[in-house]
Structure 1
Amino acid sequence: MELTVRLFALYRERAGTKVFSLELPGGATVSDLTDAVRLRYPRLAPPDVKIVVAVNSDYAEPEDLLKPGDDVCLIPPVSGG
């Protein structure tokens, strides 16, 4: 299945793009997606940093299944005060 992935803030800067297409097999999970994204953009986030994923405007868990046409966003950690 082909998914469109949107990146925000720091992730957009590190990847050099705000949106890209990603091909994953049917039955792929959010964890499969983040693994594929880390391979494609190794500088996106250190291995010990959890990439927060939103699917169809809801925060997603690593085991959540993805479907063709899902709206996928990667959200970097936010700091400030």
Structure 2
Amino acid sequence: MKVKITAFGIAKDILGDKHLELEVNGEELSWVRKELISQYPDFEKLASLKFAVNTNYVEDSYQLNEKDEVVLIPPVSGG
């Protein structure tokens, strides 16, 4: 099954695009985190990277479903 990844801020810069599709087989969200780090090592530097699935913040133990949209929410700074 495929899940759509949507990235913002520095996460979008790391991917080189706002959207990405990943093929998953019933994995937990933690698998997506590991896969992103494997394909894009700069994600390892984002210790506070958060995830939302279908507009809800979720933990790494979230079980992915067909056509889920995973949103990468990088750390935000401002002043």
Q: Shift in Å at residue 38 of structure 1?
A: 1.0
Counterpart Cα distance in 2 of 1:2 and 1:15: 17
- Report sequence identity in percent: 33
2:67 pairs with one of 48, 66, 69: 69
State whether residues 45 and 51 of structure 1, in contact with CA within 8 Å, keep that contact through their aligned partners in structure 2: no
Distance 1:24 1:50 in 2: 23
Aligned length: 79
1:79, CA displacement in angstroms? 1.2
Output the aligned Cα RMSD. 1.4
Unaligned runs of 5+ in 2: none
Partner residue of 1:42? Answer: 41
- Structure with more helix by fraction: 2
| Length-normalised TM-score, structure 2 | 0.89
Instruction: State TM-score, norm by structure 1.
Output: 0.87
CA-CA distance at 1:67 after TM superposition? 0.2
2:30 match: 31
In structure 1, the gaps of 5 or more residues are: none
One-letter amino acid matched to 1:38: I
**Secondary structure, aligned partner of 2:41:** coil
Q: CA deviation at 1:45?
A: 3.9
Moved over 6 A (4+): none
In 2, the alpha carbon distance for the partners of 1:57 and 1:40 equals 25
